[in-house]
Structure 1
Amino acid sequence: MAAAAAEQQQFYLLLGNLLSPDNVVRKQAEETYENIPGRSKITFLLQAIRNTTAAEEARQMAAVLLRRLLSSAFDEVYPALPSDVQTAIKSELLMIIQMETQSSMRKKICDIAAELARNLIDEDGNNQWPEGSSSESPVCSPAMLWVKWLQILHPGFQKKFHEKVIAALLQTMEDQGNQRVQAHAAAALINFTEDCPKSLLIPYLDNLVKHLHSIMVLKLQELIQKGTKLVLEQVVTSIASVADTAEEKFVPYYDLFMPSLKHIVENAVQKELRLLRGKTIECISLIGLAVGKEKFMQDASDVMQLLLKTQTDFNDMEDDDPQISYMISAWARMCKILGKEFQQYLPVVMGPLMKTASIKPEVALLDTQDMENMSDDDGWEFVNLGDQQSFGIKTAGLEEKSTACQMLVCYAKELKEGFVEYTEQVVKLMVPLLKFYFHDGVRVAAAESMPLLLECARVRGPEYLTQMWHFMCDALIKAIGTEPDSDVLSEIMHSFAKCIEVMGDGCLNNEHFEELGGILKAKLEEHFKNQELRQVKRQDEDYDEQVEESLQDEDDNDVYILTKVSDILHSIFSSYKEKVLPWFEQLLPLIVNLICPQRPWPDRQWGLCIFDDIVEHCSPASFKYAEYFISPMLQYVCDNSPEVRQAAAYGLGVMAQFGGDNYRPFCTDALPLLVRVIQAPEAKTKENVNATENCISAVGKIMKFKPDCVNVEEVLPHWLSWLPLHEDKEEAVQTFSYLCDLIESNHPIVLGPNNTNLPKIFSIIAEGEMHEAIKHEDPCAKRLANVVRQVQTSGGLWTECIAQLSPEQQAAIQELLNSA
């Protein structure tokens, strides 16, 4: 007995040393810990966790180590234990959860139980620890974590286990004897439905809704009688989550819930019910979004009044009032539902929203001693700056700030010119936030807002618009040069490109161009350097699958940035045309490098896209660069990668459409290559269809714009047999308008002798309509409808054409006539 106690004492000492700031002491402790056998480790760790008289740090450390052991070495350690020891460990864990009083420690122990529960579910979803997840058991506390873990580890989790899980969670939610267990089951249901595909949820919808409604009614009565609210809070969120996933399928249940939810918002006004009220506001707005404007309009005005009433008390709310963030998100959803009708509420909504979006975080520079005195519970996060110094930031309010900024983006997007009154104050807030390095979401929202704010401001005329653009332009370019996070960087680059498209020719001055040129050059050089570094790492002795996975992630990030370089160049070429070519020449060698045969396919794809833009927007001046791209473009039309084929085919199409006479011989060379791709056996498979459709479109453009380069009479019948295009909507419009040209000019080959080809043309038009290849507002749709109407007037021919169509095709023709 004494020996065991002494060993345990040694173990406490070891835990203390694992936390030591002294590197030597800590390293020795880590080595000693690693050498302890697995069974002894589990015993010592459990005893340390259970011992409430031990130092808090040691208990926390023991909990972290035990969870790590179960997650990383479960298969080596646990199955080798005798079954009675396994049983003892499970019982011990359940007991500790019940006894633990300290909340952060209790959560850590729940995490351990969840980890064990996760490992004890076999491939078929059979639970080998049923008492650990029964509704009587306190380990239902980790139910939510357990569901989340399974979702992460089994991507097909919902598909495999949905029936069992939904049944178990609903049963547990009805355990009236235990509020906490009910609440956890409801929370687990939220986790489950959030990621559950709609198709899987629908069969259970009736049953789910019935249970949720009866529990809500029961808990509402409990709230009135006893003031208990924990389960009701979770149930309200479960309802919101189910509605969010079910979307329009929730319409039949709308009237079942809305009166009770409105009742809660109206009456739950006490301070302790703020969270419940916030969650109910969220639930109402999510249900509104799910069922759509038509169904929601019966309550929209009531709900707006309730929100407005809450809003009026907003100024009296404390900064940490949980209703604030729920209100802000609910307003944005109401804006999506009501559209332009929401504009009238802006004066009420914008004040608190701007206040929240303007939160300034508390920051401090501290020495290590001060930092240790400030506990994590105070909501501070620290970055070690070396030399015994740390930079601290109080994270409270940062999420709310980010949400508020996202909501401003939402208003600008939904309301457009209706938001113009607020563009000035919002742009003054957002531009400095491009440098708000405390929160990525805030910087993303700031970037996203820029082109949208310009769209809103356009209604005030060019002078106002230009002033606003001048206010944001420098900051955007600088942010592209300095942003450290690649996800945020891609958003900033994308927004900058959109801004140039809004502003057009003349929006950048010489200094802007100079700075931008330097930045884009650096991005492309970095792209090539990173590729080389990854190749070096692949030769390293530590190289394995895991390393390859992270190299792939880096590669994906780099390619994504490359797509944004292409976006920016696209917007510059389309705005400035050939005037910008002298500036572009500093980047030319790098773009030529992208399309070298040895480069990976995304490099070649995006390099070609940049040359496509030059041909499309700078022709015929583009021909001076033809020596760099013509030969690769012709070669890559038959490339193994469909993405590269598509970029090359598009380039050959615009070469015919916009290129001058110098491009004629290459149009002749291109035709047989394009036909080869179109007629390949796999041409119409999912991965190939977009490239193939671009080839078909390019053949059409060569016949239309450079007819003397090919034998149109010979090619036309083939081209007609390849129509219509379904996938690439832009190219579909190009091909249909050429088809209209040919029909309207009564082209004999297209119409056939005595109009015998008309039924075939009708089926092409019908198929295009069925695949929504052309929007009804597009002028081309009107031209197609006119072709049909002309035939309609000649009785016999019309009957013959319609007779050869399937019922679906006939319906599509009718739809076209009705709407275009």
Structure 2
Amino acid sequence: MALTAMAEQQQFYLLLGNLMSPDNNIRKQSEEAYDNIPGQTKITFLLQAIRDVACAEEVKTMAAVLLRRLLSSSFEEIYPGLTVDMQTAIKTELVTSIQTEASPNIRKKVADIAAELCRNLIDDDGNNQWPELLKFLFDSVNSDNMATDFAPTFQKKFHDKVISALLQTMEDQTNPRVQAHAAAALINFTEDCPKSLLVPYLDSLVQHLHVIMAAKLQELVQKGTKLVLEQVVTSIASVADTAEEKFVPYYDLFMPSLKHIVENAVQKELRLLRGKTIECISLIGLAVGKEKFMPDASAVMQLLLKTQTDFNDLEDDDPQISYMISAWARMCKILGKEFQQYLPVVMGPLMKTASIKPEVALLDTQDMENMSEDDGWEFVNLGDQQSFGIKTAGLEEKATACQMLVCYAKELKEGFVEYTEQVVKLMVPLLKFYFHDDILLWEYSESMPLLLECARVRGPEYLTQMWHFMCDALIKAIGTEPDSDVLSEIMHSFAKCIELMGEGCLNNEHFEELGGILKGKLEEHFKNQELRQAKRQDEDYDEGVEETLQDEDENDVYILTKVSDILHSVFSSYKEQVLPWFEQLLQLVVQLICPSRPWADRQWGLCIFDDVVEHCSPSSFKYADYFLRPMLQSLCDTSPEVRQAAAYGVGVMAQYGGDNYRPFCTEALPLLVGVIQSPESKVKENVNATENCISAVGKVMRFRPECANVNEILPHWLSWLPLNEDKEEAVHTFDFLCDLIESNNPIVLGPDNANLPKIFQIIAEGVANESVKSEDACSKRLANVIRQVQGSGGLWTQCVSTLNEKQQKAVQDLLTA
């Protein structure tokens, strides 16, 4: 069945079809035949299949996948050996296919092939050996994706060529459609462009955009054409959004014209332009900041309020609605607490949009065929000739509105309390709303704990009533939600709520239901891992299967982290009284920390036992036989994440564990020191684990000095400070350092205070890196240490002279905080 270079194209189509055969033998034979075809011949046949209008779509799809794979895995072996004519033909064929292919699916796949080839044709110095593609980028409507597909590498390599070419194309007044495409490409480019790359071009960009905007405003007045103006307004918004405060000098160039558009573009055909302009104004305001925007804020708010007042007259599909809703949220971020006065105007229409109920229908297959997905319907096949249909029109707006409610709750906190009850009554039923992931994800992940925070101001009784309304629905959703992304967000939200509400927020029924659900999640975790291992032994196992299995594994581990989050919140709220309940999960958590388990299992299993020790000591010691040996052994684990979890555990043993843990603190100390002193301890992937070890050594010396030779270890410990990555542990180390200084510890201070310059450096570096913040209790103690030295002139000069400029500023900030 082997094919030669002269084989008929039809035979090749048959071969491609057989590669998709469900019959293992046919598929295996076809794979062998395909592998025997020379690379150049493969490329010729695959390109022909992609271009052939008579070829079946599934065969064309297979051809596109294989060609991309060929260019990805065998580029160096095949492409350089092709003739220049053949190389040119490939590029031409790809560009032509993108322009002429009718199927969006195939067109996207061909664009992926072009992207893969382009990636391979950029040499180590960043030189592009396919410059024609850049021109194509600016001329083709399908090319806008390239800047996004390659971001930010594309922007870094081609920013000079791309920006100048786009601006040049945008000036083509004779061809508005090309102008609009260039403006759209500029939006894609700037959205993913690092700020530092964009800033040098700001002046040129802004001047061009201003000239084009002025010309297109004239055109709008004279001819009524608006396509390019819509895109230019969005381009200005995108540039401002990326440039942030660097856009301040250009603010006055645009704001009068933008306000003019909102004020005057009131005709129905200009709704989209007006919406995009409202978006642009709010994005510019957010970019330049409150101080620059405030002189215009009042006028802008009045324009928005006027539109909002007319909101009830807007049709449901009016494009201004979603732009308005998002603009209000940005105005809230700009104005902060001052925005509260506008809530009575904003909230009515926002709640109306957030309350949109989708149209649903149960249809037989014949009815479904008469309804078009173009009319906004989506269908799920239920079998037995039946389908479930949902009309999705309005769901995007519903999602946006829910996100905005979250934004107001976050920004205004107690200022939002008047609306918490109606928002909760809207949000909680959405726990059963399966039709739009964005609504679910936003609502679950943020709204519940934020709304509880808002409600606090009304006192404990009101807060408890609101929590009772949420709690049952949240627990049920954790037990029934099938989508792992959505589930993880619900679990995160639930954990935050428990932390916020504290002890007493769960009754016996809640605990019983929650225990069963968490047990089920852990059992499912182990079962899924077994199934994945079985698939790795299957005869169909290959790289593609492995990629899928790894994705599944990551999803499973993420759910495991959320199980840990919930247990953390329960332990921190209920302490040792929750241990009898926890025992139904104990053996499963013990299974997680078995040495044979993957590192992520061991990491999160140890984290759960860390919480048991930290929040339930000294009662936690009754479980010591289950976790102490694995925890000590894990201090030397090859995985830094496992080392970090184990080191944190030793720290909380010393701090909270009680006398029973003393021998283990003594045993752990040399292991911790060994990790800290290893040559690779400070490399990026190890630094968090190392800093937890340093903190744990400090906690053993501070809380269990009998377990350590403190005088011998202290000089070493001092040389390891400050901690720069793990901010939480950094505060512990600074607290202990303050104890030592305040007690005039001779080893820390050194003979005649000789160590003070070093201590100064540690403090200054910690403040400069924000390892210590003004709200931390130890910051006052550190400031007192510095003030004491300030009084002794010569010593002060000596200490300050060792600091760099950033550190000196940090010391001044600490003194004035």
* Same fold at TM > 0.5: yes
CA displacement at 1:133 relative to structure 2 = 2.2
- Number of aligned residues: 770
Letter in 2 for 1:421: E
- Any stretches of 5+ residues in structure 1 without a counterpart? 1-10, 50-60, 98-104
Partner of 2:125: none
Give the letter for the 2:167 counterpart.
L
Partner SS for 2:584: coil
Conserved in 2, the CA contact under 8 Å of 1:115 and 1:146?
A: no
Deviates more, 1:724-733 or 1:199-208: 199-208
Instruction: Determine the C-alpha separation between the residues in 2 that align with 1:490 and 1:687.
Output: 26
Contact 1:63–1:112 (Cα < 8 Å) also in 2: no
SS at match of 1:741: helix
Structure 1 residues 806 and 82: CA distance shift in structure 2, 3 A: closer
Q: CA separation in 2, counterparts of 1:590 and 1:263?
A: 65
1:304 to 2:307 alignment: no
Structure 2 contact 599–642 (Cα < 8 Å) conserved: yes
Match of 1:263 among 260, 263, 277: 260
SS of equivalent residue, structure 1 residue 364:
strand
Counterpart in 1 of 2:249?
Answer: 252
> Equivalent residue of 1:183, what SS?
helix
Shift of 1:126: 3.8
Q: 2:583 is matched with which residue? A: 585
AA of the residue aligned to 2:161 = K
1: distance between equivalents of 2:574 and 2:715? 39
Q: Deviations over 1:298-321 (max 9, x none)?
A: 211111111111101100000000
Give the drift of 1:600: 0.9
Partner of 2:427: 430
Residue 386 in structure 1 maps to residue 383 in structure 2: yes
User: Does the alignment pair 1:223 with 2:226?
Assistant: no
In the alignment, which of 783, 786, 794 is matched to residue 785 of structure 1?
Answer: 783
Give the match's secondary structure for 1:434. helix
Using the alignment, how far apart are the partners of 2:260 and 2:521 within structure 1?
56
**Aligned residue number for residue 123 of structure 1:** 121
Matches within 5 A, 1:549-560: 549-560=547-558
CA distance in 1, matches of 2:187, 2:87: 35
Does the CA-based 8 Å contact 2:98-2:107 persist in structure 1? no
- Between 742-751 and 479-488, report the one with greater CA deviation: 742-751
Q: 1:457, 1:464 within 8 Å by CA — same for their partners in 2?
A: yes
> Which stretches in structure 2 are left out of the alignment for 5+ residues?
1-9, 35-41, 72-77, 123-127
**How far apart are the structure 2 equivalents of 1:672 and 1:591?**
27
164-173 or 112-121, which moves further after superposition? 112-121
* Separation in structure 1 between the aligned mates of residue 378 and residue 204 of structure 2, nearest angstrom: 44
Deviates more, 1:64-73 or 1:455-464: 64-73
* Cα distance, 1:188 vs structure 2: 1.4
Q: Residues 193-234 of structure 1: CA distance to partner in whole angstroms, max 9, x if unpaired? A: 212222222222222222111111111111111110001111
Residue 368 of structure 2 corresponds to: 371
Query: Which residue of the partner structure matches residue 208 of structure 2?
Result: 211
Question: 1:766, 1:809 within 8 Å by CA — same for their partners in 2?
Answer: yes
Q: CA deviation at 1:131?
A: 10
Q: Which amino acid aligns with 2:209?
A: L
Shift of 1:148: 4.2
Residue 718 of structure 2 aligns with which residue?
720
1:412 aligns with 2:409: yes
Q: How many angstroms does 1:146 deviate by? A: 4.4
Q: For 1:315 and 1:419, how far apart are their aligned partners in 2?
A: 23
Distance of 1:90 and 1:715 partners within structure 2: 67
Q: Which residue of 2 aligns with 1:674?
A: 672
Aligned to 1:630: 628
2:194 corresponds, among 185, 192, 197, to 197
- Mean alpha-carbon deviation: is it higher for 413-422 or for 752-761? 752-761
Q: Which moved more, 1:368-377 or 1:797-806?
A: 797-806
Structure 1 residue 127: deviation in Å? 3.6
Partner of 1:140 in structure 2?
A: 140
Distance 1:712 1:92 in 2: 75
**Contact conserved, 1:42 with 1:66, CA < 8 A, in 2?**
no
- Does the CA contact (< 8 Å) of 2:669 and 2:697 recur in 1? yes
Q: Post-superposition shift, 1:511?
A: 0.5
Corresponding residue of 1:617: 615
The aligned runs of 1:120-519 (5 Å cut-off) are: 121=118, 123-124=121-122, 125-127=128-130, 129=132, 133=136, 140-151=140-151, 156-447=153-444, 448-519=446-517
Deviation readout 1:361-405 (Å, 9 max, x if unpaired)? 111111111111112221111111112111111111111111111
Shift of 1:800: 2.9
Q: Do 1:570 and 1:610's aligned partners in 2 also have CA atoms closer than 8 Å?
A: yes
SS at match of 2:387: strand
- Alpha-carbon separation, structure 1, partners of 2:49 and 2:686: 60
Distance 1:484 1:87 in 2: 44
Amino acid at match of 2:749: L
Shift in alpha-carbon separation, 1:379–1:633, aligned structure 2, 3 A: same
The farther-off stretch of 742-751 and 447-456 is 742-751
Q: State the one-letter code of the partner of 2:801.
A: A
What is the DSSP-based 3-state SS (H/G/I as helix, E as strand, rest coil) of the residue aligned with 2:810?
helix
> Which residue does the alignment assign to 2:37?
none
The whole-number CA distance in structure 2 between the counterparts of 1:660 and 1:96 is 75
| Aligned-pair CA distance for 1:120 | 6.9
Distance 1:166 1:711, change over 3 A: same
The letter of the residue matching 1:571 is S
Residues 1:635 and 1:134: Cα distance change in structure 2 (over 3 Å): closer
Contact 1:117 1:129 in 2 (8 A): no
In structure 1, how many angstroms separate the alpha carbons of the residues matched to 2:260 and 2:719? 63
Deviations 1:465-514 (CA, angstroms, capped at 9, x unpaired): 00000000000000001111111111100000000011100000000000
Residue 757 of structure 2: aligned partner: 759
Cross-structure match for 1:729: 727
Checking the alignment, whether the CA contact within 8 Å between 1:172 and 1:182 is kept in structure 2 is: yes
1:523 to 516, 521, 524: 521
Counterpart of 2:4?
A: none
SS in structure 2 at match of 1:170: helix
Give, in whole Å, the separation in 2 of the partners of 1:192 and 1:562. Answer: 37
Displacement of 1:542 in angstroms is 1.9
* Contact 2:137–2:146, Cα closer than 8 Å, also in 1: no
Q: Distance in 2 between matches of 1:575 and 1:555?
A: 30
Tell me the residue number matched to 2:816.
818
Match of 1:597 in 2: 595
- Is residue 2:798 matched to residue 1:800? yes
Aligned residue type for 1:133: F
Instruction: State whether residues 605 and 647 of structure 1, in contact with CA within 8 Å, keep that contact through their aligned partners in structure 2.
Output: yes
User: Which whole-Å CA distance do the structure 1 matches of 2:275 and 2:58 have between them?
Assistant: 34
CA distance in 2, matches of 1:729, 1:48: 61
Structure 1 pair 678–116 and aligned structure 2 pair: CA distance change class (3 A): closer
Q: How far apart in 2 are the matches of 1:319 and 1:511?
A: 43
Deviation at 1:551, TM superposition (A): 1.2
Distance 2:620 2:109 in 1: 64
Distance, in Å, in 2 between the alignment partners of 1:278 and 1:386 is 43
Check conservation: 1:248, 1:292, Cα contact below 8 A.
Answer: yes
- Structure 2 CA distance, aligned partners of 1:401 and 1:68? 38
Q: Give the 3 Å change call, closer, same or farther, for CA 94–755 of structure 1 in structure 2.
A: closer
CA-to-partner distance for each residue in 1:332-386, whole Å, 9 max, x for gaps?
A: 1111111111111100110111111111111111111111111222111111111
TM normalised by structure 1 equals: 0.88
Find the residue that maps to 2:432 and give its secondary structure: coil
Percent identical pairs in the alignment equals: 76
Deviation track 1:249-299 (CA, whole Å, cap 9, x = no partner) reads 222211111111111111111100000010111111111111121222121
Contact 2:67/2:113 (8 A) holds in 1: no
Q: Which has the higher mean CA deviation after the structures are superposed, 511-520 or 771-780?
A: 771-780
Contact 1:45 1:62 in 2 (8 A): no
